[in-house]
């Protein structure tokens, strides 16, 4: 039976081993993503959102302490596959990634055309000419002139390089692309341009996206759903429309109140204190220490509570 969801992540855990103890970067994360939708994972630096991307794609460093859970992509639990199987059949083919600082993700000594066509040759077994042709087609999708194929990365502007990396992630036509801070180093107009490109890809190719970012304002350019991450856990998920107008979790509320608005007159707020260390996490709610609405119950770990069709991990909604 075909799954109606493209991706189901259940209780995903990724802990790293360090000299100070286990860093609980991803600690029991569950998210779902339907076909041709985009979910934004919002969180501040150090909350584990990049580790979540790596855990889903199984791009792990050597110091992994614990890695478990389910990642069901198109009905298949890819966590059960062995490394070689995963590399051949899931990575690039099922889902691919646009890494953080994608501008620097390109190899400086290879022409961008070669780099973009490489995944097609390796994963789809295309011949070189065929792959170059596919790369040219992808360049048109992302709005890079065709003659840029024979250029080197340093000959392109930041925005163009970003588009090239997106073309590379697209060439094997995966159904899911994970974008890790795709526009954080770019100018306003370039950012808006890249989001136009992503929206067009979503519409024309039916691709789904996981967008990982700390930039709430620009994330709304692509978001269908929003998941908020704090200290290794997802604290709220829901549709973008209701999230941006009325977030549920106290952390999300504070986060939204800190977003500067172009013609805003409201006084901005900031969150006092710092997120807990991922090595030494508090028992109970991880946000309790900084939360203005905490009460006795917050010393216990809050359950995930369903409210309409949104989820929130907070005692307030019990």
Partner 1 sequence: MSGEMQAQNEVIEKFSGENTALLSVQDLHVWFELRRFGFGRAGYVRAVDGVSFEVGRGEAIAIVGESGCGKSSLMKTILGLYKPTNGKVIMDGQDLQSLDTKGLRWYHSHVGYVQQDPYGALAPFMAVKKILEEPLIVGGIKSGEEREQRIQKAMEEVKLFPVEDFLGKYPHMLSGGQQQRVVIARAMIMGPYFLVADEPVSMLDASVRVEILKLLRGLQEEHHLSVIYITHDLSTVSYFSERIFVMYAGELVEKAKVERLLYNPCHPYTLALLNGTSVPDAENAKTFKEIPPGEPPSLVKPPEGCRFHPRCSKMIAGTCDVKVSPEFEPEPGHLVKCWLFQ
85-144 residues in contact with partner 1 (CB under 8 A) are none
255-294 residues in contact with partner 1 (CB under 8 A) are 255-256, 258-264, 268-271, 274
Alpha-carbon span 49 to 132, nearest angstrom? 34
Q: Calculate ∠ Cα 100-258-252, nearest 5°.
A: 75
Smallest gap from residue 208 Cβ to partner 1 (A):
13
Query: Quick one: DSSP state of residue 60?
Result: -
The token pair that represents 301 in the structure block:
């770990």
Q: Which one among 51, 115, 207, 218 touches partner 1, defined by CB under 8 A?
A: 218
Smallest gap from residue 53 Cβ to partner 1 (A):
18
Q: Which one among 63, 68, 104, 157 touches partner 1, defined by CB under 8 A?
A: 157
The helix or strand, by DSSP H or E, that contains position 97, with its residue range, turns out to be strand 95-98
Those residues with Cβ within 8 angstroms of residue 11's Cβ, 6 or more apart along the chain or in another chain? 28, 29, 30, 68, 69, 70
Q: Which one among 26, 135, 201, 223 touches partner 1, defined by CB under 8 A?
A: 223
State the CB neighbour count (10 A cutoff) for residue 66. 14
Length reported for the chain: 318
Q: With contacts defined by CB under 8 A, name the span among 18-26, 58-66, 92-100, 233-241 that binds partner 1.
A: 233-241
22-81 residues in contact with partner 1 (CB under 8 A) are 38, 44-45
State the CB neighbour count (10 A cutoff) for residue 250. 22
Select 114 or 224, whichever has its Cβ closest to partner 1: 224
The token pair that represents 296 in the structure block:
């006795």
Select 46 or 74, whichever has its Cβ closest to partner 1: 46
Smallest gap from residue 166 Cβ to partner 1 (A):
16
User: Nearest Cα to 222, choosing from 242, 202, 206, 248?
Assistant: 202
Smallest gap from residue 318 Cβ to partner 1 (A):
26
Q: Is 20 in the site for partner 1 (CB under 8 A)?
A: no
Alpha-carbon span 300 to 293, nearest angstrom? 15
At 267, is the secondary structure helix, strand, or coil?
A: coil
Smallest gap from residue 26 Cβ to partner 1 (A):
19
Q: Is 193 in the site for partner 1 (CB under 8 A)?
A: yes
Q: What is the CA radius of gyration of the chain?
A: 20
Q: Is 2 in the site for partner 1 (CB under 8 A)?
A: no
Q: Which one among 16, 92, 195, 287 touches partner 1, defined by CB under 8 A?
A: 195
Q: Is 190 in the site for partner 1 (CB under 8 A)?
A: yes
Q: Calculate ∠ Cα 32-36-41, nearest 5°.
A: 45
Number of residues that bind partner 1 (CB under 8 A): 49
Residues that bind partner 1 (CB under 8 A): 38, 44-45, 157-159, 187-193, 195-196, 199-200, 214-224, 239-241, 243-245, 254-256, 258-264, 268-271, 274
């Amino acid at each position: 039976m075909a799954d109606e969801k493209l991706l189901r992540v259940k209780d995903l855990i990724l802990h790293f081993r360090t000299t100070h103890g286990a860093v609980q970067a991803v600690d029991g994360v569950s998210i779902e993503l339907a076909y041709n939708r985009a979910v934004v994972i919002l969180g501040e630096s150090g909350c584990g959102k990049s580790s979540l991307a790596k855990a889903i794609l199984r791009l792990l460093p050597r110091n992994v302490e614990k890695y478990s859970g389910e990642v069901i992509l198109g009905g298949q639990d890819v966590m059960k596959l062995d490394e070689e199987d995963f590399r051949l059949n899931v990575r690039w083919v099922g889902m691919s990634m646009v890494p953080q600082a994608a501008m620097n993700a390109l190899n400086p000594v290879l022409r961008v055309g070669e780099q973009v066509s490489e995944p097609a040759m390796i994963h789809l077994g295309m011949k070189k000419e065929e792959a170059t042709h596919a790369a040219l087609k992808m360049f048109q999708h992302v709005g890079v002139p065709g003659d840029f194929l024979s250029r080197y990365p340093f000959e392109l502007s930041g925005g163009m390089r970003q588009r090239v990396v997106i073309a590379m992630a697209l060439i094997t036509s995966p159904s899911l692309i994970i974008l890790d801070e795709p526009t954080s180093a770019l100018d306003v107009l370039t950012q808006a341009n890249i989001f136009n490109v992503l929206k067009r890809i979503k519409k024309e190719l039916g691709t789904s996206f996981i967008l990982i970012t700390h930039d709430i304002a620009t994330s709304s350019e692509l978001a269908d759903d929003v998941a908020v991450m704090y200290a290794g856990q997802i604290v709220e998920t829901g549709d973008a429309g209701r999230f941006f107008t009325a977030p549920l979790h106290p952390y999300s509320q504070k986060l939204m109140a800190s977003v500067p608005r172009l013609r805003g007159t409201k006084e901005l707020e900031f969150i006092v204190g710092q997120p807990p260390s991922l090595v030494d996490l508090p028992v109970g709610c991880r946000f309790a220490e900084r939360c203005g609405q905490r009460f006795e119950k917050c010393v216990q770990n809050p359950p995930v509570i369903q409210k309409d069709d949104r989820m929130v991990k907070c005692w307030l909604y019990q």
